[in-house]
Amino acid sequence: MRTSVVAGETLMGIAGLFVCAGGLIGLVAALLVGSVIVRAAVALANRILGPAEVPDTFGQWDDWDSDEPAPKPRKHKTRVIPEPGLATGMLVTLLSGLVGPGGIVVCAVLAREAFNDLDGPDELVPLAFLILLLPIGFGLLTLLLSMLLPTTFWRAARVAFLHYLIVFALALGTVAAAYLAWEALAP
């Protein structure tokens, strides 16, 4: 009888280990996808904004001013918004995932109180919740991007807008694919 209890505890411990490992793998996968979306939004914003105008110091260099070699001229113009690395994109995704629920709670309370004060129908609360959530999430993402990327607030706002467009397009594509698969498999 005692061996079956020990074996059961061991199996539960192994199952718990697999659940934790699966959760960690899922978290890393979500952070990687989020990082790719942030990088895609920055690349798209750079394509829209065009190259930055950086003064060329090569033409102002005198050979007799220094013992150091002359700087090499720039072959390509620099980007307006530096593209984040994989780790920075993952950090943006992680922080927006940690800060976002606070914004969601604030939006939920505001939506519930607004509809209670107006005696509105309870069916419209989720719609009001989404309407309140979009600008708050946009503002939080813009603040995060302007702090973590060396760029201005308005450029970070453009990146956040493009980030939202990419996520919306991916969500729409996923829902459309799931709907088509459901329709194809339905009897």
Most confident of 15-19, 83-87, 134-138: 83-87
Cα separation of 73 and 13, whole Å? 61
* Res. 3 pLDDT band, cuts 50 70 90: low
Number of CB atoms found within 10 A of residue 22's CB: 10
Please report whether residue 70 resides in a domain.
no
Q: Rounded to the nearest 5°, which phi and psi values hold at 47?
A: -65, -35
Report the candidate in 45, 157, 143 with the shortest Cα–Cα distance to residue 92. Answer: 143
32 within a domain of the structure (yes/no): yes
In a domain, 181, yes or no: yes
Sequence-ordered list of residues with C-beta below 8 angstroms from that of 133, at least 6 positions apart, any chain: 103, 104, 107
Q: Is residue 74 part of a domain?
A: no
Do residues 130 and 60 make contact, with C-beta atoms less than 8 angstroms apart?
no
Total domains, the chain: 1
Contact 144, 157 (CB under 8 A): no
User: Does a structural domain hold residue 25?
Assistant: yes
Across the range 130-143, mean pLDDT stands at 82
Q: pLDDT value at position 85?
A: 87
Contacts of 95 (CB under 8 A, 6+ apart): 144, 148
pLDDT at 169 > cutoff 90: yes
What is the pLDDT averaged over residues 139-154?
A: 89
**For residue 57, is it within any domain?**
no
| Band of pLDDT at residue 59, cut at 50, 70 and 90 | low
- Whether residue 65 lies inside any domain: the answer is no
**Rounded to 5 degrees, what angle do the CA atoms 129, 139, 100 make?**
60
Joined together, the tokens standing for residue 92 give 């943006």
Residue-range definition of the domain harbouring residue 161: 2-50+82-185
How far is the CA of 146 from the CAs of 27, 102, 140, 175, in angstroms? 24, 19, 10, 31
Contacts (Cβ under 8 Å, ≥6 apart) of 107? 129, 132, 133, 136
Token reading at 58: 């090569």
The per-residue pLDDT for range 5-54, each reduced to its tens digit, is: 555 667 777 777 778 888 889 888 988 999 999 999 999 998 888 776 65
Is residue 19 assigned to a domain? yes
Give the rounded percent of residues in the chain with a pLDDT score beyond 90.
21
Please indicate, yes or no, whether the overall pTM of this predicted structure exceeds 0.85: no
